[in-house]
Amino acid sequence: MTGTKAKQRTVKDTKDLSKTKDEPKKTKYWEPLTEGVKWIEKYGENLENFFERLPEFISTFIATFAIFTFGATLRGEWVVILVTALKQWSGHTQNGTDSTAELLELFTSRNLKMENFMTIFIGAHVVSMSMYFLIGGFLHWYFYLNRRHVAKEWKIQPEKWLSPELERHEIMVGTFSLLVTGSFSAFLACYIYNGNPSTIYYQFDEYGWWWFFLQFPVIFLYQDYTTYILHRLYHTPWLYKHFHKLHHKYKQPTAFSVTAIHPVEIMHVQLTMCLPLFTIPVHWASFYVIAIYVYYHGIIDHSGINFKAQWWQPWQPDAEFHDQHHEFFHCNFGFNMSLWDRLHGTMRKTYRAYTEETFHGEAPELDTAEGKAILAQNPDLIESKVLNEEIPEILNSIKKTS
pLDDT digits (tens, 9 = 90+) for 341-380: 999 889 999 888 899 988 877 888 887 888 888 888 888 8
Residue type present at position 119: T
Is residue 381 a contact partner of residue 390, using CB atoms and an 8 Å limit?
Answer: no
Q: How far apart are CA 185 and CA 124, in angstroms?
A: 8
For residues 231 and 273, the answer to whether their CB atoms sit within 8 Å is no
For residue 291, the enclosing domain spans: 35-306
Give the model's pLDDT for residue 382. 82
In a domain, 129, yes or no: yes
Residue 216 lies inside a defined structural domain of this protein: yes
Q: Which residues make Cβ contacts (< 8 Å) with residue 162, sequence separation at least 6?
A: 170, 250, 251, 252, 253, 254
Beta carbons within 8 Å of 320's beta carbon, 6+ residues apart: 156, 306
b/e 89-119 (16+ beta carbons within 10 angstroms → b):
eeebeebbbeeeeebeebeeeeeeeeeebee
3-state SS assignment for residue 200 = strand
Closest CA to 330 of 213, 214, 248: 248
pLDDT > 90? residue 195: no
d(CA 294, CA 291) in angstroms, rounded, equals: 5
Any domain includes 294: yes
Asked if the structure places residue 375 within a domain, the reply is: no
Distance CA 97, CA 201 (A): 9
Of 79-88, 232-241, 278-287, give the lowest mean pLDDT range.
79-88
CA distance 203 to 284: 10
pTM: 0.74
CA distances from 126 to 168, 221, 240 (A): 21, 31, 32
Within a domain: residue 366?
no
On whether the CB atoms of residues 95 and 195 are closer than 8 A, the answer is: no
Task: Report the alpha-carbon distance of residue 131 to residue 75 in Å, rounded.
Answer: 10
Mean pLDDT (the chain, rounded): 79
Give the ranges where 140-208 is alpha helix by DSSP (H). Answer: 151-154, 164-193
pLDDT in tens, 328-345: 999 999 999 999 999 988
Return d(Cα 375, Cα 353) in angstroms, integer. 7
Q: How far apart are CA 352 and CA 394, in angstroms?
A: 12
- Residue 78 included in any domain: yes
The answer to whether residue 270 scores a pLDDT higher than 50 is yes
pLDDT (tens digit per residue) in 57-96: 676 666 666 655 655 555 555 566 666 666 666 655 444 4
In-domain check, residue 285: yes
Where does the pLDDT of residue 48 fall: very low under 50, low under 70, confident under 90, or very high at 90 and above?
low
Identify the CA nearest to 265 among candidates 242, 249, 287, 288.
242
The residue type of 349 is K
3-class SS of residue 282: strand
DSSP string, 244-256: GGGGGG-SS--GG
Count of domains observed in the chain: 1
H runs (alpha helix) in 234-313: 237-242, 263-274, 284-302
Quote the CA–CA distance of 68 and 136 in Å, as a whole number: 11
pLDDT at 161: 94
> What pLDDT shows up at residue 397?
78
Across-strand partners of 305?
155
Banded pLDDT at 251 (limits 50, 70, 90): very high
Domain membership of residue 339 (yes or no) is no
Dihedral class, residue 125 (left if φ above 0, else alpha if ψ from -120 to 50, else beta): alpha
Whether the CB-CB separation of 168 and 328 falls below 8 Å is answered with: no
pLDDT at position 74, please?
55
Of residues 188, 209, 355, 212, the one with CA closest to residue 281: 212
CA–CA–CA angle 370, 376, 380 (5° rounding): 115
Contact 253, 332 (CB under 8 A): no
Look at residues 334, 132, 320 and name the one whose alpha carbon lies nearest to residue 221: 334
